Amino acid sequence: MAKNPFENALEQLEKAQDIEPIDSVAYEIMKRPQRILEVSIPVKMDGGGTKIFTGYRVQHNDARGPCKGGIRYHPNVSIDEVKALATWMTIKCATVNIPYGGGKGGVICDPKEMSEGEIERLSRGYMRQIAHYIGPDVDVPAPDVYTTPQIMAWMEDEYSKIVGKDTPEVITGKPIDKGGSEGRGTATGMGGSYIIREASKELGLNPSESTVAIQGFGNAGSVAASILSKMGYKVVAVSDSHGGIYNKDGLNIDRVLQVKKEKGRVSEYDGPCEKVSNEELLELPVDILVPAALENQITKDNAPHIKAKLVAELANGPTTPEADQILHEQDVLVTPDILTNAGGVTVSYFEWLQNKKGEHWSEEEVNKKLDEIMTPAFRDVYTKAKEKHIPMRTAAYIIAMHRVADAILKRGY
Which of 104, 234, 260, 384 is flagged as catalytic? Answer: 104
pLDDT tens readout for residues 211-236 = 999 999 988 899 999 999 999 999 99
Closest of 22, 2, 4 to residue 397, by C-alpha? 22
Q: In what order do the strands lie in the sheet with 101-108?
A: 35-44, 50-61, 101-108, 67-74, 139-143
Strand ranges for 125-264 from DSSP E: 139-143, 211-215, 234-240, 243-246
Within the chain, all domains assigned CATH 3.40.50.10860 are found at 31-168
Confirm whether 104 is a catalytic residue: yes
Contact 211, 288 (CB under 8 A): yes
User: Could you give the percent of the chain with pLDDT greater than 70?
Assistant: 99
Question: Does domain 31-168 match CATH 3.40.50.300?
Answer: no
pTM of this structure: 0.93
d(Cα 155, Cα 161) in Å, to the nearest integer? 10
pLDDT tens readout for residues 54-68 = 999 999 999 999 999
Is residue 413 predicted with pLDDT exceeding 80? no
pLDDT at position 3:
62
Is residue 356 predicted with pLDDT exceeding 80? yes
DSSP 94-132: HHTT-S-EEEEEEEE--GGGS-HHHHHHHHHHHHHHHGG
Within the chain, all domains assigned CATH 3.40.50.720 are found at 187-340
pLDDT at position 317:
84
pLDDT at position 295:
81
| 137 pLDDT tier (thresholds 50, 70, 90) | very high
Q: Residue 274 pairs with which residues in a beta bridge?
A: 246
Q: What's the CATH class of domain 187-340?
A: alpha beta
Mean pLDDT rounded to a whole number for the chain: 94
Strand ranges for 211-343 from DSSP E: 211-215, 234-240, 243-246, 274-276, 288-291, 310-312, 333-335
Question: Averaged over 136-159, what is the pLDDT?
Answer: 95
Task: Determine which helix (DSSP H) or strand (DSSP E) holds 398, and give its type and residue range.
Answer: helix 392-411
